[in-house]
A = this chain, B = another copy of it.
Amino acid sequence: MTKKPLILITNDDGINAPGLRKLISLVKNLGEVIVIGSEYAMSGMAHAVTIQNPLRVRVVTEEPDYKEFLTTGTPADNIKLGKHRLSERLPDLILSGINHGSNAAINIIYSGTMGAVLEGTIDGIPSIGFSLDDFSHDADFSHVDEYILAIIKKVLNDGLPKEICLNVNFPKISNKPIKGIKVCRQADARWVEEFEERKDPHGRSYFWLAGRYENGDKRNDTDEKALADNYVSVVPSHTDFTAHNYVDKLNFSL
């Protein structure tokens, strides 16, 4: 008898986020599932790991082939704990999300959801992040099922190249049908920051990070273009930050 695949799941919106619950409901029957959530809000935590403090872990649910843990760590911590402590073997698949909010383009660099996914890749485990281009808590996830299941089943069957993970983004639901899945590049879009200054009751300033999103990347093969055209975008992503085109072009000899 073949062992059921072990699937590790985390997210950065909290363990009760509807996006996470949706993802769990889709994969619960595909294997042995371990969910590791963070006690605190972890949006914007990127690939942060907890090295100054120890971590606490609490068992929330324990059923046959299904466990939920809650930790004081970040999403990347959760994956480290899951890989090396909370499961008896290395997972066959790591999933993160479904994030409330797009992680297309530059958002991958700030995303706790994608930090967890990239952490999975470091040990060569097939890892996929799912995000919806809708920040709201009561976002509608009803159009994602068949695409998530198709992607997960293909990855469970075929695996992924050792060095890559998938950054999957869904357009916000609309009355237009999803056109399909597009494998594409990360768009060169960015946030243009503004800090909003306010005064506390004692007259002291504090600053809220705000800003607007700007996509100046007009190429046709980007994740932002795919989403705008109502496709599910899939960007094969990796942990190599090297700008390989420049290695032979730079010279800093003294």
Q: Which residues of A contact B (CB under 8 A)?
A: 41, 43-52, 54-57, 76-77, 80-81, 83-85, 106, 108-110, 115, 118, 122-123, 146-147, 150-151, 154, 161, 163-164, 167, 180-181, 183-186, 188, 190-191, 193-195, 198, 204-209, 221, 234-244, 246-248, 250-254
Contacts of A191 in B (CB 8 A): 122
Most buried by B among A185, A186, A236: A236
User: Cβ of A209 and Cβ of B150 under 8 Å apart?
Assistant: no
SS of A interface (majority): mixed
User: Cβ of B83 and Cβ of A193 under 8 Å apart?
Assistant: yes
Instruction: For the complex, give the distance between the alpha carbons of A91 and B50 in Å.
Output: 31
Name the CB-closest residue of B to A41: B52
Query: Taking A154-B252, A251-B183 as contacts, is the C-beta distance between A209 and B55 under 8 angstroms?
Result: yes
